[in-house]
C-alpha cells in the first residue's frame, strides 16, 4: 500500500505494545525518534527536551493528541519493542513512493 507521508507509512506498522495504558500513538513515537535521528539527537532525555521545546509545531503533524510529548521511558520502551525489519520495509516502501 502506498503512503503519501512517512506518518502514513508508520501508521501501517503493527503496534507491539499492550493496549492497556497506551497514551501516545505508536507511529508518532517512531516518527519522533526518526526526526531526532535526523537532528543528530542521541539521548532520549535530549529528544524529549527538544520535542517539548517544539511541541506546538510537532504535536499535530506527528499525530499526537496529548499536551506534552511522551517521556524518555515511554519512547525507549516503545522502541525496544519495535520490529526493525518491519520498520525498514515501511521506510523502503515509502521512499519508493
Number of domains in the chain: 1
Q: What is the pLDDT of residues 59-90, one digit of tens each?
A: 999 999 999 999 999 999 999 998 889 988 98
Q: Does any domain span residue 79?
A: yes
Q: Does any domain span residue 48?
A: yes
Q: Does any domain span residue 73?
A: yes
Q: What is the pLDDT of residues 28-51, one digit of tens each?
A: 999 999 999 999 999 999 999 999
Q: Does any domain span residue 60?
A: yes
pLDDT computed for residue 35 by the predictor: 95
Interatomic CA distance for residues 77 and 44, integer angstroms: 11
**Confidence class of residue 1 from pLDDT cuts 50, 70 and 90?**
low
**Residue of 97 and 80 predicted with greater confidence:** 80
Cβ-proximal residues to 23 (8 Å cutoff; 6+ apart), any chain? 66, 70, 74
Q: Does any domain span residue 33?
A: yes
Q: Does any domain span residue 96?
A: no
Question: Could you list the residue range(s) of the whole structural domain that residue 52 is in?
Answer: 6-15+25-90
Q: Does any domain span residue 95?
A: no
pLDDT computed for residue 5 by the predictor: 85
Amino acid at each position: 500500500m502506498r503512503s503519501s507521508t512517512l506518518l502514513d507509512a508508520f501508521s501501517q506498522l503493527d503496534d507491539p505494545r499492550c493496549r492497556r495504558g497506551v497514551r501516545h500513538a505508536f507511529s508518532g513515537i517512531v516518527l519522533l525518534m526518526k526526526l531526532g535521528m535526523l537532528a543528530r539527537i542521541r539521548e532520549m532525555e535530549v529528544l524529549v527536551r527538544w520535542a517539548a521545546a517544539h511541541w506546538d509545531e510537532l504535536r499535530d503533524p506527528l499525530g499526537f493528541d496529548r499536551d506534552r510529548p511522551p517521556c524518555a521511558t515511554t519512547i525507549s520502551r516503545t522502541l525496544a519493542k519495535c520490529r526493525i525489519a518491519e520498520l525498514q520495509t515501511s521506510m523502503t516502501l515509502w521512499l519508493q513512493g
